[in-house]
């Protein structure tokens, strides 16, 4: 079961839900990124003492922009492609598709949205890890965002803004699997009207469970992507080699063994529960309000017509 609302409404509600969840969980997201990128825990007390509470929101502007754009594009493309497939099969909008069809639609939507927002995601990771790496160019000045962009361009040119993008071809399965599992949760756990329009509690729990399963499956790749995007080319050496997803995974495994591939998983899951649960809950609530507003307007028109 999925929403029967037009693609634009689904995209708008999805992006607003993701942005709300992103703002709520951002400090935890920053800490998780630093654990993944630096191979060590982040002392919260030390960070507050040294940099203040505002340091927990380093890069939130870039991340909020990436979240809004990525979520809007993902839900719009997903709902558009899904409606196209459903109509081609002669089914109603609310009909369930097969697992391969659902995953294929979600996968293509994920690649399309991430291909556009990868530069913003890269800048966000650099801003989040700047204090840990003592990157003065990213900590001072009138615009840290501009400084990071200039730094990336000087290191690797325009191509550098899509650093780590190769992982997207597998990580795009994450939102696809999450959305599919959420729909299955609605199908199994809910009945009648609640299945078509889940209550906030079920939206939260269903979204959180679906995201947790997807994250566990793909976490090593997510970790390697963060390591690659956080890495900087040093000017003091003539080393021109670039970290890749494969080499990062191999280095992490060689250094710390199998369990090192899951460092920071606990924080990632906790963040995911709050973020995805809140995002789904807000998305469903916005869609409910849209439907209610439409029904009220329709009823008002009927009254006016009869009068």
Residue 64: what pLDDT? 86
| pLDDT score of 43 | 58
Query: Residue-wise pLDDT tens for the chain (307 aa)?
Result: 455 677 788 888 888 888 888 888 888 888 888 787 765 555 566 666 666 677 778 888 888 888 889 889 988 898 889 888 888 877 766 667 787 888 888 889 988 888 888 898 888 888 888 765 555 554 544 478 888 898 889 888 888 898 878 777 777 788 788 878 888 888 888 887 787 778 888 888 888 898 899 889 889 988 888 888 877 765 444 443 456 788 888 999 998 899 999 988 988 888 888 887 888 788 888 888 888 887 888 788 777 776 5
Tell the residue number behind the tokens 């439907």, with chain if given: 291
pLDDT of residue 25: 84
Work out the burial of residue 215: count CB atoms within 10 Å of its CB; fewer than 13 is exposed, 13-18 middle, 19 or more buried.
buried
pLDDT of residue 240: 39
The per-residue pLDDT for 133 is 58
Q: Which secondary structure element, helix H or strand E, spans residue 106, and what is its range?
A: helix 99-129
Q: Which domains does the chain have, with CATH numbers?
A: 7-231+243-306 (1.50.40.10)
- Tokens 């591939």 locate to 261
What confidence score (pLDDT) does residue 18 get?
A: 86
Encoded tokens for 20: 């709300």
Q: How far apart are CA 70 and CA 22, in angstroms?
A: 12
Residue closest to 163 by CA, chosen among 153, 172, 177: 153
Q: Write down the pLDDT at residue 234.
A: 53
Alpha-carbon distances, residue 284 vs 24, 162, 288 (angstroms): 18, 32, 6
Task: Residue 181: name the closest of 109, 112, 106, 110 by CA.
Answer: 106
């Amino acid at each position: 079961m999925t929403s029967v609302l037009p693609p634009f409404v689904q995209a708008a509600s999805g992006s607003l839900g993701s942005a709300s969840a992103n703002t709520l969980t951002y400090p935890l997201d920053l800490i998780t990124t630093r654990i993944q990128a630096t191979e060590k825990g982040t002392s919260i007390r030390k960070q507050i003492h040294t940099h203040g509470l505002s340091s927990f929101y380093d890069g939130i502007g870039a991340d909020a922009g990436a979240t809004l754009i990525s979520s809007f594009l993902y839900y719009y493309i997903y709902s558009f492609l899904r409606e196209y497939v459903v109509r081609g099969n002669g089914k109603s909008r609310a009909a369930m598709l097969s697992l391969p069809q659902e995953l294929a639609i979600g996968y293509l939507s994920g690649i399309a949205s991430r291909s556009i927002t990868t530069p913003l995601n890269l800048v966000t990771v650099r801003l989040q890890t700047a204090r840990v790496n003592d990157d003065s160019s990213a900590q001072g000045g009138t615009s840290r965002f501009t400084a990071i962009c200039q730094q990336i361009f000087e290191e690797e040119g325009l191509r550098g803004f899509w650093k780590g993008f190769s992982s997207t071809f597998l990580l795009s399965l994450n939102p696809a699997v999450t959305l599919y599992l959420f729909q299955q949760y609605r199908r199994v756990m809910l009945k009648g009207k609640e299945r078509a329009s889940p209550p906030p509690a079920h939206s939260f729990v269903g979204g959180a469970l679906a995201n947790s399963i997807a994250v566990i499956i793909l976490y090593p790749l997510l970790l390697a992507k963060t390591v690659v995007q956080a890495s900087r080319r040093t000017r003091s050496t003539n080393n021109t080699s670039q970290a890749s997803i494969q080499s990062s995974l191999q280095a992490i495994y060689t250094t710390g063994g199998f369990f090192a591939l899951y460092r920071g998983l606990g924080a990632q899951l906790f963040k995911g529960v709050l973020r995805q649960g809140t995002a789904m809950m807000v998305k469903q609530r916005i869609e409910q309000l849209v439907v209610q507003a439409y029904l009220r307007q329709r009823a008002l028109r009927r009254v006016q017509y009869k009068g």
